[in-house]
């Protein structure tokens, strides 16, 4: 079966479609997908792949602000990438990422995401690079270092500061729940 990716803004998805996305994410993350995680995945563009059994894969891209070398960049931040268990390792995650990467390339200064060890395999195979510098967020009380995100934050394209090879820092905007 040839799969196609549909992209749509959150506002263009029906309540039924959003419910299917939330259910897929709940299952894919073994129930560890919080209300804050869900909120982070909304308000941008979703990439969805369906098959004869329903929603098979999903990812979303939301806009964030990230400061790099004194300049605030319009950043496409990848969220909520998941593939249904019975169709994992069949290329659907790559289809979703391809659609999101195209949007990042055409509409943003930078792409970024935070990856688990398992997810990192998909992203590095597609050309995402781990950010080698420090990670911070501009919190309610000022700048907060996010050392636990160092080594798991990836950027696209690779040319964005030579993937942090110079030890530069990324300063993310703040949000509730997991900041990245």
CB environment 122-135: b (16+ within 10 A), e (fewer): bbeeeebbbbbbbb
CA distance 12 to 21: 13
Give 28-67 pLDDT, tens digit per residue.
999 999 999 999 999 999 999 999 999 999 999 999 999 9
Q: What is the arithmetic mean of pLDDT over 169-175?
A: 94
Give 72-109 pLDDT, tens digit per residue.
999 999 999 999 999 999 999 999 999 999 999 999 99
Asked if the model's pLDDT at residue 163 lies above 70, the reply is: no
Indicate the domain borders of the chain. Answer: 5-173
CA distance 106 to 132: 25
Give 119-136 pLDDT, tens digit per residue.
899 999 999 999 999 999
Q: Write down the CATH number for the domain with range 5-173.
A: 3.40.630.30
Q: What is the mean pLDDT of the chain?
A: 92
Structure letter (DSSP) for residue 32: -
């Amino acid at each position: 079966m040839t799969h196609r990716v549909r992209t749509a803004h959150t506002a263009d998805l029906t309540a039924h479609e959003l419910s299917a996305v939330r259910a897929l994410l709940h299952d894919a993350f073994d129930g560890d997908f919080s209300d804050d995680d869900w909120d982070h995945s909304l308000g941008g563009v979703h990439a969805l792949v369906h098959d004869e059994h329903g929603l098979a894969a999903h990812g979303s891209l939301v806009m964030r602000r990230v400061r790099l070398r004194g300049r605030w960049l319009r950043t496409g931040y990848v969220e909520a990438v998941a593939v249904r268990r019975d169709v994992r390792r069949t290329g659907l995650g790559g289809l979703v990422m391809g659609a999101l990467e195209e949007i990042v390339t055409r509409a943003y200064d930078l792409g970024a995401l935070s990856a688990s060890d398992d997810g990192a395999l998909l992203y590095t195979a597609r050309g995402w690079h781990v950010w080698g510098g420090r990670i911070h967020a501009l919190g309610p009380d000022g700048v907060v270092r996010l050392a636990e995100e160092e080594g798991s934050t990836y950027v696209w394209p690779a040319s964005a500061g030579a993937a942090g090879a110079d030890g530069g820092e990324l300063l993310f905007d703040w949000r509730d729940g997991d900041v990245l």
